[in-house]
Structure formats: C-alpha cells, structure tokens
Structure 1
Amino acid sequence: MNNPHPIDTRPLITGDDPAAQTYYQDLVSEYGSPLLVLNGRVLKTRFKALQAALPEVDLYYAVKAHPDPEIIKIIDQLGGGFDIASAGEMSLLLDHKVSGRRTIHTHPIKKDQEIRDGLRFGATTFVIDNVHELKKLVPYRSRVGVLLRVSFRSASAIVDLSKKFGCAPDEVSELVQEANALGIHVKGLSFHVGSQCHDASKHVEAISRCHRLMQEINETANKPLSVLDIGGGFPADYELKGLDIEAFCMPIRAALAELPRDWHLIAEPGRYLVAPSVTSVTTVAGKSMRNGFRWYYLDDGIYGSYSGQLFDHATYPLQVFRDGERMPSIVAGPTCDSIDVVAENIGLPELEIGDLVIGHQMGAYTAATKTRFNSIPDARLVVVDHPQEPPVLVN
C-alpha cells in the first residue's frame, strides 16, 4: 500500500543558532510576522558573480521572478537591464524612472495595446515566435526590432519554458524572410532552455545551433542578425549543497567565445539572483496532534509566500531553532484550505506556539505568485544589508 504521506526530504536545519535566532526575532519584534527579508548585500553579490561568470553578456533581470520595487531599485543601481512581459511590469519600472531603452519585452504573444504601451514606455526590442505576431508589428515596423524566440526543450529543466513558446529551429529562416517582406527588422534570436537547469548542456546546444542559424541567414541578409539572447535557467541552491556559478557558466562561456565578437549578448537571470536573497520568517500560530502526526500551523503558507511549491515546483529549505528527537510532523499554512500544507511528513523536533520557522532560498516565484485567499495579509517585505550568506548544509 502506498504511503499517503511520503517523507519530505527537503533540507532541514535544526538546533541552536543564537545569533540567527536573535536576528530574526528582533525583526519580528519590530515588523511583525510573517516576513520576507530581502538581503540587499546577497542580491548585489549574486549579480556581480554572474557578471564575472559571463563577462561578455548584458544581464536583464527577469522582473517576473519577484517584481518588488526594492529589488528593481537594487538592480537599477547595479546597472542591470530588465526583462519585462507586461504593462504592469513597465509601470513598476516607470515608478523608478527606468528607461524603456534598458528593457526587452520578452512575451512572445501580445495584444495591440500591449505593443503600444511598450512603445510609449520606450521599449524597442520585442520577442515573437510566429508569423501572426510578426504581422501585429507591421503598423510599428519603423520603431521596433525583433528577436525570434527559438524552442530548445530541456529534459533536465524543472520548468519547461519551450513547451508554450518558441518556433522550431527549422522555422527560423522562413520567419526572417517573412519579416523582411513585411519591412520588420529582425535583430537576432532568443531562447530559454527552461528554469532551474541542472547543468548548462542545453544552453551550449542552443547557443551553437543559434550561431549556425544566424551565420546561414547572414550570408544573404541585407541587415545581419547580431543579437543573441540566451535567456535564463541559472539555478538556485534549493538543496543547500553550494552552487558554483563560475563552474556552471564555464561551458556557456566557451560556447559564446565561438561567436563573432561584435554580436550583442543578453541573458535574462531571475531565480539565481533573487532566490538566495530573500528569506521567509513565519511564526507557529497553532499546533495539534492528529493521526500520529504533529501539526504546526504557520502564519504564512501555500497561498502566500510558499506558493512557489505549487506553481514553480520548488521545495524550500526550512530552519527551526529547536533540537531533540525528530517526530513525523506536518507544517501547514494559515488558510481554511486543506491543500495549504508546506511540508508533509517532515521530521521535526517538537515546536511550540510562537516559535519561528525560517524558509531559505525564497526570493524567486514566491511573493510573485501569492494570492489573497481568505483575505489573509501578505508577508511584509523588509530590506536589510546583512553580511550573512544563505546557509549551506555539509553532509
């Protein structure tokens, strides 16, 4: 018979850590609970690390990963560009006086109003993947440049982003010809091999294939293709094993070195930058013993900051400041819905009402996909500048 409660194997940190416990308790005392704590120093460190790993590539932050004004402010200060996909994201950037010239509009499917909003905002580079979207741009052809999105599906990616969008590689030449006939300038190609990739092999394959496609087209093109957008897919360390972004990017860097030196290279990082930069702080609001499991009810859950467990297929490492025998436990969120369970059959030392439960690597696709079910207030975002790096578990 199948176990109705398979063991939750996510990384779990238990035991005394007086400095960390005091740090988080002080934040809760000042700002309340639940919280999302944005460590600006970690975000800056991650941005600079990816810049160093891909020195020839301009980084455009994927706003969808966590569209918070404080994150936009930090990326803006670092000189990054922005990958946008909606008028709402444009509005967020407008509030920070970010020029549309520092953006690329990457949603391949757009209403006419979205195109006009983008042009009004100052965006000039749009991504498309089919002839119907090309035709939508005809009225604005003197003001836009196009990147054709190409599909490269990766079996190793946790989230497949080439299922819904992207033309087949053998369709690229025909789309470029159609664009030329319509008087639309194709600047280059783009791809996204999927989110949370285990290795860079699919990036390398996509770069090499796009290189060949662009070279073949440029042999007869009046306006040669010269932009390559390599998308995102740079992973977060949900396993707390330590992530060497330099090693991850080494094969990507080698593949990019084969391209012409005058091509403009773009990437769209989101998860790698913001996941480790944000920590969740929740409080045990209640507890019970039911069917052999200790239940702990938090003041944040699946409908809030932990929404990425449903929508993003992510599992976030947890930390509690208790020690002792680990007993089968269930960690639930605050709503009335039974689906609101953060961790099922996880071995926890006994917790008490008022204890803190810390979620790590919680910056990407968490607050971005939260709901207001039961009209429960959102976790409050608090910005800090703290030297503490995200934890790493040592086996």
Structure 2
Amino acid sequence: MNTAELVQHFAEQTHPDELEQFDRSTLRDLLTQHETPFLVLDLQEVEYQYSALQKALPGVELFYAIKSLAHPAVIRRLKKLGGSFDLATSGEVDLVKGLGIEGHQCIHTHPIKKDREIRHALDFGCTRFVVDNPDEVLKFIPYKDEVELMIRVSFRSQDAIVDLSRKFGSALEELPGLVNLAMENGLTVSGLSFHVGSQSLSPFAQVNAVQASISAMKEMSHVHWKWLDIGGSFPVSYQGPVMPIEDFCAPIMEALAELPASVKVFAEPGRFISAPSMIEVIRVVGKAKRGARTWYYLDDGVYGALSGQMYDHAKYPIAPLKPVDPTGDFYPSVLAGPTCDSVDVVDEDIELPELAVGDILIAKQMGAYTIASASEFNYYPKPKIVVVEDLIDHTDDE
C-alpha cells in the first residue's frame, strides 16, 4: 500500500472537530485570567503522547528532542516518566542540567559541533555523540578515551514534510570509510543513526533505513555495535489524517526484529510528543472587508507562535472558540497577524462564519516548533505559556 492509499485508508478514521475535545469552560476561565494571545500547555497530553509512542515502540528508548518544545514543565514531566533526552547545543545541555537531568540520560545528536561544545557536553557527563563526516570524526581524537560515536547515515524520504537527510548524514557507501577512520584513530564507534525526516506520512522510509542499517552492521562485523538510533518522523495530524501511531510503528518494529538482541534501539521523538500538548488562544482585534473576503486581524501571527508556518511547513487547525453550527453560513476569509509586515498572513483561504472584533479563535497542535522559533518583531511580545493538567479528555480514544 503506497502513501496515498494509506492516507485514504485512515481518512475515514479522522476524529470529528477536535475542538470539541477541549473543555470550553476551562478555556473561558483562563481568558478571565490571561490576556491574549497565550498558549496552553497540557502536561497530561505530554504524558499521553509519550505513553502512546512507548507502547507502539516497546523496548525502544525514547530521547525527547527538546528543540521542538524546550519548556521546563515538559522536561520535568518526561523525566518523571523515565524519559531520556536528545540534545544538540550547549544551551540545551545547560537547560536539562538545571532541571536535574544527568548526562548519561542524554545523547548529543548535532552532527556538527565546536570543540568547546564537545567539552561542555563531556563536562556534563554526556558521552554519546553523533558524527557524519571525516572532519567531525577527527574533532574527537583528543577525547577518544571519553566518547562513543554514532555515525549518522543519510536516507532521503519523499514522504517526509521536512527532509532532514538533505543537510546531514553520510552516504551509505561512505560508512565503512568513516568507521575505519575512527577506529584507526583510537575512537570507539558504537552505533548508527538516521533521521528520514520530520512529519513522515508513512513508515516505509524508516523501515528501509532500518533494514539498510542492519545490513551495514552485519557487513562491518568487526565493530562492537551497541546502538541503532532510528530518529524521529512520527507524525501528528494538522490539516489531514495521519496513520495511528500503533499502525505507523508496527512495520518499523517488524523490521527491528531482525536486529541482534545485543543492540539497543533509540528514537528521537519531538513533534509527536510536543505538538498536541499545546493550543493557542487568539483574539480577533480588527476586521475589514477587502474585495470578496473579510480580513480578520489577530493578536498573534507568523512572527509569533504561528512561526511554524514559515519555518516548519505546518498549517495549524484554527477554529472559533464558540460552538459553530456546521449547517450555517461560512464566508471566504483571511486571517492576518498583527505586525506591519504584509507577509504576516496566517491563512488566505479559509471559510469562517461571521466573526466580530473580540471573538476568540483556538489554534491546535501548537506545541512543536512554534514558540521555539517565535520572535518579537515589531516589539510584540511572544505569547506566554500557561501550564495546565488534563485539558483534553481522551476517554473516547481508549
């Protein structure tokens, strides 16, 4: 079954308007306490997503990619659940260290690093690093007695929204040379890693990458392989259906069954855990009729928490907070952000009921790569984050 067929297969399983899952009374209470725009971070949703992925990938150690949403409350909750952490910068090292995370609970996955970044991570106690080219391997010679390396291999995927093998990863045919270079210089190679891309629409690229990695490990039997890092790519639903996580992971687990029992499997979920955990509460602050469409001006836009539309190729589901009659009238509309820049348009082709200045909109799936890339352009402050427990009821999902 190809990707298009998979999407069609699961389209009928899409939940009705997910806004109905949100506790509207709770949101209205929050509106009396906080000025819009603000984000609502649901820690129970973080736990729900983490547990769902853990169940779908039994035996796989999950290293949360904190770059997707580096909020201390998320990290604390995942620490409580026994989670591990994927780091890429010295700033992220300092963040998790300040929250009581220890170096052995982390991997450092940025393939390109400054020497002082390596030393900083080692001082923290993180000894597992990713490399993907000869120059990077050689940087570790001064630390050869302290580190274990994972070599990142490039596997391109047409099914991923964000291609993460374009910028990083060695070609498969280059792998033996990198392994030999490391070993000739006294370095320990203990694993392979890959990332087929963020928000993958099917598991096939990941399955192929697992199979190719296992074959490469068998061919290089002189290496004591300890780890295989399968990256992220686990999808969430934005505007359309995606495969349920248990169905997405099933063929991956089948492929991993061919791996020797002595090799541990890592994964680096970011979006899957963080995206559904946050919504944004936005207010209509102005409206104007321009041609055939009504423009609604919001108090946040693509320079703020909706920045993922520019940087992450995401389009967030947005709907009015007040219940909408699906049989009522809808009109061609535009949602625009508050800044003076004309690029600050959230949606130019959306059908909405008639809205009034002051009405509230809810943007969903706002946890991943949103506040992380938000700016304060025009001196609009970034939306604050309000932390709650159990905003969404999953009773019907279980």
CA distance in 2 between partners of 1:253 and 1:373 (Å): 44
CA distance in 2 between partners of 1:383 and 1:169 (Å): 44
Give the match for residue 330 of structure 2.
326
Counterparts of residues 65-104 of structure 1 (less than 5 Å)? 65-104=68-107
- State the 1:21 CA deviation: 3.5
The question of 1:370 aligning with 2:374 is answered: yes
CA distance in 2 between partners of 1:356 and 1:94 (Å): 38
Quote the RMSD (CA, aligned, Å): 2.1
- State the 1:292 CA deviation: 2.2
Give the match for residue 6 of structure 2.
none
CA offset digits 1:321-367 (Å, max 9, x no partner)? 24431111111111111111111121111111111110011111111
- State the 1:389 CA deviation: 4.4
- State the 1:224 CA deviation: 1.1
Secondary structure of 2:40 counterpart = strand
Give the match for residue 121 of structure 1.
124
Tell me which moved more, 227-236 or 381-390.
Answer: 381-390
Counterparts of residues 257-268 of structure 1 (less than 5 Å)? 257-268=257-268
Give the match for residue 276 of structure 2.
276
- State the 1:374 CA deviation: 0.9
The aligned amino acid for 1:313 is H
Secondary structure of 2:45 counterpart = helix
Give the match for residue 137 of structure 2.
134
| 8 A Cα contact 2:43 2:77, kept in partner | yes
CA distance in 1 between partners of 2:342 and 2:79 (Å): 41
- State the 1:12 CA deviation: 12
CA distance in 1 between partners of 2:20 and 2:275 (Å): 22
Tell me which moved more, 99-108 or 13-22.
Answer: 13-22
Q: Structure 1-normalised TM-score?
A: 0.92
Tell me which moved more, 14-23 or 35-44.
Answer: 14-23
CA offset digits 1:230-275 (Å, max 9, x no partner)? 0000001113547511111000000011111111110000111111
Give % identity.
Answer: 46
CA distance in 2 between partners of 1:72 and 1:338 (Å): 36
The question of 1:215 aligning with 2:215 is answered: no
Sort the Cα spacing of 1:207 and 1:306 in 2 relative to 1 into closer, same or farther, 3 A: same
Give the match for residue 255 of structure 2.
255
Secondary structure of 1:330 counterpart = strand
Give the match for residue 292 of structure 2.
292
Mark the runs of 5 or more structure 1 residues left unpaired by the alignment.
Answer: 1-10
Tell me which moved more, 264-273 or 19-28.
Answer: 19-28
The question of 1:359 aligning with 2:372 is answered: no
Give the match for residue 347 of structure 1.
351
| 8 A Cα contact 2:294 2:334, kept in partner | yes
CA offset digits 1:295-340 (Å, max 9, x no partner)? 1111111001110011010111111124431111111111111111
- State the 1:23 CA deviation: 2.4
- State the 1:69 CA deviation: 1.0
CA offset digits 1:79-98 (Å, max 9, x no partner)? 11111100111111011011
The aligned amino acid for 2:141 is V
Counterparts of residues 217-232 of structure 1 (less than 5 Å)? 217-218=220-221, 221=222, 223-232=223-232
Secondary structure of 1:358 counterpart = strand
CA distance in 1 between partners of 2:193 and 2:182 (Å): 16
Secondary structure of 2:207 counterpart = helix
Sort the Cα spacing of 1:186 and 1:345 in 2 relative to 1 into closer, same or farther, 3 A: same
Secondary structure of 2:258 counterpart = coil
Secondary structure of 1:388 counterpart = coil
The aligned amino acid for 1:285 is V
Equivalent position to 2:157, from 137, 154, 175 = 154
CA distance in 1 between partners of 2:237 and 2:121 (Å): 34
CA distance in 2 between partners of 1:77 and 1:252 (Å): 27
Give the match for residue 8 of structure 1.
none
CA distance in 2 between partners of 1:21 and 1:53 (Å): 31
Sort the Cα spacing of 1:288 and 1:12 in 2 relative to 1 into closer, same or farther, 3 A: farther
Count of residues in Structure 1 that have an aligned counterpart in Structure 2: 379
CA distance in 1 between partners of 2:256 and 2:302 (Å): 40
CA distance in 2 between partners of 1:16 and 1:66 (Å): 22
- State the 1:390 CA deviation: 8.1
- State the 1:391 CA deviation: 12
Give the match for residue 5 of structure 1.
none
The aligned amino acid for 1:82 is F
Give the match for residue 6 of structure 1.
none
Secondary structure of 1:108 counterpart = coil
The aligned amino acid for 1:252 is I
The question of 1:301 aligning with 2:304 is answered: no
Give the match for residue 7 of structure 1.
none
Give the match for residue 174 of structure 1.
177
The question of 1:337 aligning with 2:355 is answered: no
Give the match for residue 10 of structure 2.
none
The question of 1:52 aligning with 2:55 is answered: yes
CA distance in 2 between partners of 1:391 and 1:54 (Å): 22
- State the 1:31 CA deviation: 1.9
